[in-house]
Amino acid sequence: MKEQWMELRLDELRALRNHPFQVKDDRAMEALCDSIRQYGVLSPLLARPVEGGYEIISGHRRRAAALRLGLDRLPVLVREMSDDEAVILMVDSNIQRENLLPSEKAFAYQMKLDAIKHQGKATSRQIVGKPESADLISEEESGRTVQRYIRLTNLAKPLLDMVDERKIALSPAVELSYLTKQEQAELWDIMQSEACTPSLSQAVRLKKLSQKAELTPEAIFDIMSEAKPNQRDRVRFEVSAIRKYFPRSYTARQMEESILKLLEAQYRKRQLDREW
């Protein structure tokens, strides 16, 4: 495998296509910038030559930090590699990062699985007589766990965002991933109007009805409107009953926030009146 050390301009470097890992402007980025400012870039990026420049395999955050600091060039180890080799090395170089989002893991594992299948590698474990490629994806997580993360790639973006925001746990999210796109859209609308999220048992029931082609909007509403165990008492309104008081663009959450602000203002006024 041919490789060489080079200094490359930042504009010659670009992210690997469909790179799933986010480059966040957070405290870790601040710390990286401080380190580069004080010591320089201690570890070269890894990239491969492509038409019109170089694709970064490892070092996307270092490039972002260098761009933020106004640097012109970066040390890069340039290595020739195939598309599949690039994907596998990119995932392996980034998957150990702390605080990865479930969606980042999901798409990274999917990319690596596809690359391994393209290469036709044998696997070390057999299930029902068939090789399970997912066992090769991670040294830290089981093939079963990898498969569960990969299922998340079937979620509609609003639902996947809620998984990243920890509003929906991994187990119910996996069950919801078996719903059709239309069913997921209907579920999302009801979750918004009812200000609720599915429990694992609810998600399992939604999946079973979907598999039987019986998951109608009415069935989704019936399941999602059930009171959950340990659920605190709540005052609930039908959205249709209060919709006329709000702009058409308001979601159920925005309506709730507006009502609470009005009640808070009324409460403070009563407190002031008592003081007088």
Q: What is the pLDDT of residues 209-218, one digit of tens each?
A: 999 999 999 9
Please give the model's pTM, rounded to 2 decimal places. 0.72
Among 106, 216, 95, 215, CA closest to 153: 106
Greater confidence (71 vs 98) lies with 71
Beta-bridge partners for 76: 6, 45
- Tens digit of pLDDT for each residue in 47-63? 999 998 999 999 999 99
Check whether 276 has a pLDDT greater than 70: no
* Residues in CB range of 22: below 8 A, 6 or more apart: 101, 104
**Neighbour tally for 86: CB within 10 Å:** 22
Q: What is the pLDDT of residue 132?
A: 54
Residue 121 has pLDDT above 60, yes or no: no
Express each pLDDT in 143-188 by its tens digit: 889 999 999 999 999 999 999 999 999 999 999 999 999 999 999 9
Model confidence at 74, in pLDDT bands (50, 70, 90)? very high
Tell me the CA distances in angstroms from 254 to 58, 165, 197, 233, one per residue in order.
Answer: 41, 18, 17, 20
